[in-house]
Amino acid sequence: MCCEHGPAQGGGLIGLAEQWRRVFDNNVLPAVLLTEALLPRLARPGGRVVTIGSVATLRGNGAYGAAKAALMAWNHTLARQLGPHGATANVVLPGFVSGTEFFGAPADEEELARRRAQTLVGRVGQPQDIAVAVAFLASPEADYITGEFLNSNGGAMPGR
């Protein structure tokens, strides 16, 4: 098989389908279902939805990147639904964030150096970098920004 995560790896096509479904179920459905449940409270002037995506949306990264890309597509629909009510919907796309244990154990110095070298600002992201992006999009100052995505990755993946 030509692809890194192709059907030749454990479980064949059924295993691949299960893997993709699991990634989608873990990364898309919770955001969609929670937001839909709260939609009556959000569809009002000043209502804000800020979804956490990933730079993997822009880079690829198989099932995970595809799932996060689904959130961006859904965000466009959500922005159209909320806009007439004076509410907004946006997505923050974090890059590598140190100290989150997203990849399991904390990154060692070699991995941190590799990630740091990928950025234009010469440092890895910190949780507060993502928090300020979310806080801005949730603020009254961002009331004219909707249906957008905001990269927060230190330039590791420049905007398009």
Q: Is the pLDDT of residue 99 over 90?
A: no
Domains delineated in the chain: 12-152 (3.40.50.720)
User: Of 20, 24, 64, 136, which residue is the catalytic one?
Assistant: 64
Sheet (strand 48-52) strand order: 48-52, 88-94, 148-152
At 10, the pLDDT band (50, 70, 90 cuts) reads low
The dihedrals phi and psi of 113, each to the nearest 5 degrees, come to -65, -40
The residues facing 35 across adjacent strands are none
Over residues 101-127, the mean pLDDT reads 87
User: By percentage, how much of the chain surpasses pLDDT 70?
Assistant: 92
At 125, the pLDDT band (50, 70, 90 cuts) reads very high
Q: Assess whether 144 carries a catalytic annotation.
A: no
How far apart CA 137 and CA 150 sit, in angstroms, is 9
The dihedrals phi and psi of 35, each to the nearest 5 degrees, come to -65, -45
The residues facing 81 across adjacent strands are none
